[in-house]
Amino acid sequence: MSSDAWPVPGGLLARLGRPPGEIEALSRAVAGAAAAGGWPEDDARLVAACLYAAGDLELVSRIGVGGGPAAAGAAALRAGRGVLVDVEMVRAGATRVDVPLVVAVAQEGAAELARRSGTTRAAAGMRLAWDAFGAGGVVVAGNAPTAVLAAIDLAATRGAPACVIATCPGFTLAEEAKAALAVSGLPHLVVRGSRGGSGLAAAALNALARQAADGG
């Protein structure tokens, strides 16, 4: 028997559903509690954002933070420095960023440089955009480990970024690239091993942008 009542009286949504703000607040509280105490408060907020985006509290043991990325990245954003991300999916998720942001794979000439150099468009795009956006800016790699390797090389040769967020997943190069970043001396947040993804990168970047906007 059909009914126009919504939610369906006595149904799962009526019994278990909650308003969206309440769902988010409860979930972020769980993620925040899991991240608390392991890092300085501002860095812990970036970690909590990753846990929330992943829906996976066990990920906390795989996140590495060094060099104070939250403070360094927030200061760069407040100063109007740009953001360089590896792929379009990170850009699409970066809804809080209000400074110029460019995508490495979308850089003009990236495909040609990648072909000539025998590397990826993400790495080539990092090189092409580095001087204007990478050096002194916030660099985020949510998909391509070659972008992380390129960022480390470019930091050493063309100027260091404020911080690097690396959550690229995969079974080839991802673990090695993120491990290299962790010992590079650059302010960083990494998801160690093969796990990660662009959603985590965007979540951490949004958390960084919120901290910049809040002045913290």
Predicted TM-score (pTM) of the model is 0.95
CA distances from 35 to 18, 27, 182 (A): 25, 13, 19
Residue 8 located in a structural domain: no
Question: Which pLDDT score is estimated for 79?
Answer: 97
Q: Convert 3-27 to b/e letters by CB count within 10 Å (16 or more is b).
A: eeeeeeeeeeeeeeeeeeeeeeeee
Question: Which pLDDT score is estimated for 215?
Answer: 81
Residue 157 located in a structural domain: yes
Look at residue 108 and give its three-state secondary structure: coil
89 near 143, Cβ under 8 Å? yes
Pair of tokens at residue 46? 């970036």
DSSP 115: H
Residue 41 located in a structural domain: no
Q: How far apart are the first and last CA of the chain?
A: 56
Pair of tokens at residue 168? 């690229």
Residue 4 located in a structural domain: no
For position 183, which CATH number holds? 3.40.50.10230
Residue 35 located in a structural domain: no
Report pLDDT digits (tens) over 28-38.
999 999 999 99
Question: Which pLDDT score is estimated for 1?
Answer: 59
Q: Are strands 138-141 and 188-191 parallel, antiparallel or unpaired?
A: unpaired
Question: Which pLDDT score is estimated for 216?
Answer: 62
Q: Which domain holds residue 199?
A: 60-214
Total of domains in the chain: 1
Average pLDDT over every residue of 171-196: 98
Report pLDDT digits (tens) over 99-144.
999 999 999 999 999 999 999 999 999 999 999 999 999 999 999 9
- CA-nearest of 216, 212, 152 to 188 is 152
Look at residue 40 and give its three-state secondary structure: coil
Q: How many CA atoms lie within 13 A of 67 on its CB side?
A: 19
Average pLDDT over every residue of 133-158: 98
Residue 53 located in a structural domain: no
Pair of tokens at residue 20? 């969206």
Pair of tokens at residue 142? 């949510």
Residue 43 located in a structural domain: no
Tell me the percentage of the chain whose pLDDT exceeds 90.
Answer: 97
Beta bridge partners of 165: 140, 189
Residue 86 located in a structural domain: yes
